[in-house]
Amino acid sequence: MEEHRVEMERTSVKRDKKGSSAELKVGQQFPLTIKRLGINGEGVGYFKKKVVFVPGALPGEEVVVEATKVHPKFSEGRVKKVRKRSEHRVKPPCIIYEQCGGCQLQHLAYEEQLKGKRDIVIQSLERHTRFDIGKMDIRPTIGMENPWHYRNKSQFQLGLSKNGKMVAGLYGLDSHRLVPITECIVQHPATNKTTQTVKQVLEDFGISVYNERKRTGDVRTIVTRVGFETGEVQVVLVTSKEDLPRKELIAEEIKKRLPEVTSVIQNVNKAKTSVVFGDDTRLLAGNMVIQEFLGEVSFELSARAFFQLNPIQTVKLYDEVKKAAKLTGREKVVDAYCGVGTIGMWIADGAKEIRGMDVIKESIDDANQNAKKHGIENARYVTGTAEHWLPKWTKEGFRPDVVIVDPPRTGCDRTFLDTIRQVKPKRFVYVSCNPSTLAKDLQYLAKDYHVEYIQPVDMFPQTAHVESVVSLKLK
């Protein structure tokens, strides 16, 4: 899923001090004991003191590996034979698990996945910080009761099978081959059903599939999103040009076959790119948005609005943010990188005042709208960066007691962290979706802030992703 992480992670593996005299060759087979799970869910072992990444191998297993790639600092290999199996190895329930690549850990029992994710956080701290990790409070990962069918959104590419039938699915692992998916078991059942029915409607109307190489054809991608609490479904047809033949009829037919669909949208993406959405979004039938609830708070979700993909775990995640903020009703809180204001609204009842900022104007409009709709009078949201607003507000006499940040995978901007060190809020709550960038940022803040605890949360069961909530206190 997150291929771009791989190189970043792997190149940061520390080089063996002495260097190894016997280099591995591609195709060479050798025995390996797997020590731990890597950041992408692969097994990690050491051959002649150099790290070897082996997808599909599990900690504690003894395997015979064939080298597939040899780099100066690490190697990659595939399992040829398992000599000693892990007692935690299970049969993946998904029939296309190995071809698809969307999940990385279905072959590992769920309780062990949770332990492995905590260990991924620890590995990142070992690699990127100088903390005494043995003394840190790194809590057990918060998991799900039912770690399946949790994703509220799917984005399936369209293609043609050998016999010319339309198929919807994902590109296979490290390839440009479309793997047809009729039922994804980490998706909410409504998204699976919707995708298959919409595909059938497009076929019935004789709609063509976009061909990337030739730049011909109509529809590129079917995106579906379901409101877990409301049951409303949104369908987005991503097309390669503005004109989609008989689009109104298609939209009506989708709604007729699927009465739960309350929003049918066309998004035009003419670019030669792997990015799913273009900038041009049009309503074909129903409403522009679908409704969703987190706890008591409702949200209107437009086609391109960011919303957490696992609503059940999001509630647990935001509760942890609230816990880490330690609010008493008297605090001034800043929600940096606030998006549509989800976190701010979740904690508003425990704070004196909430201010949030984001660089995307549409998100800020939504955030102010959401706050108004819920009668949250102590929250205001502005467009721009935290680096601009925090010093300005401090000068004006608004000094935050707590700053919360939930940045993208790249972590926090350095200038933002410098601003935090300058403004010095008493508490800093960091929500992270990438343990590596989190570890680097924590090290950067270490002069000024003490890490009270790290709480990993499993937002994406069966994958190697792990989210963390970190509670930091001013020294």
Q: Are strands 219-226 and 153-160 parallel, antiparallel or unpaired?
A: antiparallel
**Do the domain assignments include residue 99?**
no
What residues are paired with 266 via a beta bridge?
Answer: 237, 282
Tell me the DSSP string of 183-234. Answer: --TTB-HHHHHHHHHHHHHHHHTTPPBPBTTTTB-SEEEEEEEE-TTT--EE
Domain at 419, CATH number: 3.40.50.150
Cβ atoms within 10 Å of 331's Cβ, excluding its own:
20
At residue 17 the predicted structure's pLDDT band, cuts being 50, 70 and 90, is very low
**Pick from 301, 335, 352: which residue ends a domain?**
301
CA distance 428 to 231: 36
**Pick from 274, 301, 328: which residue ends a domain?**
301
Judgement on whether residues 252 and 400 belong to the same structural domain of the protein? no
CA distance 203 to 137: 55
Instruction: Please state the φ and ψ torsions of residue 120, each to the nearest 5 degrees.
Output: -60, -40
CA distance 199 to 204: 9
**Pick from 244, 279, 301: which residue ends a domain?**
301
User: Which tokens hold the place of 443?
Assistant: 């090290």
438-469 pLDDT, tens digit per residue, is 999 999 999 999 999 999 999 999 999 999 99
Summary mean pLDDT of the chain: 93
SS3 letters across 379-423: EEEEECCHHHHHHHHHHCCCCCCEEEECCCCCCCCHHHHHHHHHH
* Residue found under tokens 């309503």: 283
**Do the domain assignments include residue 253?**
yes
Q: Position 269: which residue type? A: N
Domain at 230, CATH number: 2.40.50.1070
Nearest CA among 222, 239, 44, 233 for reference residue 126: 44
Judgement on whether residues 297 and 317 belong to the same structural domain of the protein? no
Judgement on whether residues 256 and 327 belong to the same structural domain of the protein? no
378-416 pLDDT, tens digit per residue, is 999 999 999 999 999 999 999 999 999 999 999 999 999
Judgement on whether residues 249 and 223 belong to the same structural domain of the protein? yes
* Residue found under tokens 């270490």: 446
Judged by average pLDDT, the poorest of 173-177, 263-267, 315-319, 450-454 is 173-177
**How many distinct structural domains can be found in the chain?**
3
> Does pTM surpass 0.75?
yes
Judgement on whether residues 463 and 325 belong to the same structural domain of the protein? yes
Tell me the DSSP string of 236-272. Answer: EEEESSS--TTHHHHHHHHHHH-TTEEEEEEEE--SS
Judgement on whether residues 381 and 337 belong to the same structural domain of the protein? yes
The predicted structure's pLDDT at residue 207: 97
Average pLDDT over every residue of 128-140: 98
CA distance 301 to 408: 20
Q: Are strands 467-474 and 427-432 parallel, antiparallel or unpaired?
A: antiparallel
pLDDT at 20 over 50: no
Average pLDDT over every residue of 45-56: 95
Contacts of 279 (CB under 8 A, 6+ apart): none
The predicted structure's pLDDT at residue 213: 85
Containing 428, the helix (H) or strand (E) segment is strand 427-432
CA distance 145 to 126: 30
Average pLDDT over every residue of 199-204: 97
Judgement on whether residues 318 and 456 belong to the same structural domain of the protein? yes
The predicted structure's pLDDT at residue 22: 63
**Do the domain assignments include residue 110?**
no
**Do the domain assignments include residue 115?**
no
At residue 13 the predicted structure's pLDDT band, cuts being 50, 70 and 90, is very low
Judgement on whether residues 292 and 344 belong to the same structural domain of the protein? no
pLDDT at 434 over 90: yes
The predicted structure's pLDDT at residue 9: 42
**Residues tagged active-site:** 433
**Do the domain assignments include residue 458?**
yes
At residue 15 the predicted structure's pLDDT band, cuts being 50, 70 and 90, is very low
The predicted structure's pLDDT at residue 300: 85
Cβ atoms within 10 Å of 19's Cβ, excluding its own:
10
CA distance 1 to 466: 13
Average pLDDT over every residue of 179-198: 97
For residue 352, give its domain range.
123-144+311-474
230-264 pLDDT, tens digit per residue, is 999 999 999 999 999 999 999 999 999 999 999 99
The predicted structure's pLDDT at residue 10: 44
Contacts of 360 (CB under 8 A, 6+ apart): 339, 383
**Do the domain assignments include residue 14?**
no
Judgement on whether residues 288 and 330 belong to the same structural domain of the protein? no
CA distance 310 to 308: 6
CA distance 474 to 425: 7
The predicted structure's pLDDT at residue 366: 86
CA distance 201 to 452: 54
Judged by average pLDDT, the poorest of 79-83, 144-148, 272-276, 444-448 is 272-276
**Do the domain assignments include residue 290?**
yes
Domain at 68, CATH number: 2.40.50.140
**Do the domain assignments include residue 58?**
yes
Highest mean pLDDT among 168-182, 183-197, 268-282, 355-369: 183-197
Judgement on whether residues 280 and 176 belong to the same structural domain of the protein? yes
How many percent of the chain have pLDDT more than 90?
85
Judgement on whether residues 185 and 270 belong to the same structural domain of the protein? yes
Judgement on whether residues 318 and 465 belong to the same structural domain of the protein? yes
Q: Is 155 exposed, middle or buried (0-12, 13-18, 19+ CB in 10 A)?
A: middle
Judged by average pLDDT, the poorest of 15-19, 178-182, 246-250, 322-326 is 15-19
Tell me the DSSP string of 103-149. Answer: -S-TTB-HHHHHHHHHHHHHHHHHHH----GGGS-BPPPB--SS-SS
93-116 pLDDT, tens digit per residue, is 999 998 998 999 999 999 999 999
pLDDT at 119 over 60: yes
